[in-house]
Amino acid sequence: MPETTRRVAIVTGAARGIGAAVARRLAADGMAVAVVDLDATATATTVSAISSAGGRAIGIGADVSDADAVRAAVDRVAGELGGPTVLVNNAGITRDNLLFKMTERDWDAVIGVHLRGSFLMSRAAQAYMTEAKWGRIVNLSSTSALGNRGQANYAAAKAGLQGFTKTLAIELGKFGVTVNAIAPGFIATEMTAATAERLGMSFEDFQKAAAQQIPVGRVGQPDDIAHTASFLVSEGAGFVSGQVIYVAGGPRD
Ligand code: NAP
């Protein structure tokens, strides 16, 4: 795509893990990418990986659950790269505990990053998408949306994102904007490494145990999600909207 028509994408939580893989992939697809994460310095690795592969990226520090920070971040993207018409709401945290031990702070933190964060980012970015009469929003849900012991906060947020996705798809469709969700199963990242540590298992043993339950016989990698995101934000995916795609190495119901 020539520089003048290059799409501008924002990927949140893109300093590492799934977000970093998505950012690199969208850049390889020809998009200019804003790599957003809590700490601006943490975005440097992703930004330089994109730059050294010949792509265009900027790193921005912003807490997606902070309305002022989101507004400033999206304004900066528009100023430096152009109006963002692709948004991947990927930033996420876990604060796992059984219900009787879950604190209000852990509930609010998880709901705040996933749900409020995706709401704030989408509200800010949609202005550019509706103006361009073209846009793509992808929200990161999870198989945990179907229920997962110790994750009442996270499961509620990820199930909430599915309703959010479908509603935005209905509201924004007439502007050429599609909105979809990806619901990953087990993906090897620092998030799942931290879960292994919490359970007192080595990450290797944790992955081996998980792979035994997965029909394709392996755990997922960040690139598995990046590939799906690349499809959903592509020009040709304009008739796919309001969907939740489980990327989990097998079916989920
Ligand atoms: P990860 O390795 O923990 O990376 C998440 C990134 O998001 C981190 O760089 C983190 O920054 C950033 N972040 C956290 N809170 C933020 C905020 N308020 N504002 C901006 N950035 C923030 O996680 P991951 O495994 O790649 O997961 C990415 C997404 O996929 C999440 O939404 C997650 O729930 C979802 N997901 C993951 C899996 C899996 O198996 N890994 C499965 C299903 C769904 P800090 O390092 O500063 O905290």
CA–CA distance, 92 with 17 (Å, rounded to integer): 11
The full set of domain ranges for the chain reads: 3-185+223-243, 188-219
Residue 252 has what pLDDT?
79
Atom of ligand 1 nearest to the CA of 64: 19
Ligand 1 center to 16 CA (angstroms): 8
H-state helical runs in the chain: 17-28, 44-52, 67-80, 104-111, 117-132, 152-172, 190-198, 203-212, 222-232
Segments of the chain with pLDDT less than 50? 1, 3-4
Residue 253 has what pLDDT?
61
| 109 Cβ contact list (under 8 Å, min separation 6) | 93, 95, 153
Residue 56 has what pLDDT?
98
Whole-structure pTM over 0.85, yes or no? yes
| 249 Cβ contact list (under 8 Å, min separation 6) | 185, 186, 214, 215, 216, 217, 218, 219, 220
Active site residues: 154
Residue 206 has what pLDDT?
97
CATH number for the segment(s) 3-185+223-243: 3.40.50.720
Decide whether any atom of ligand 1 lies within 6 Å of the 87 Cβ.
no
List the residue whose alpha carbon is closest to atom 17 of ligand 1: 63
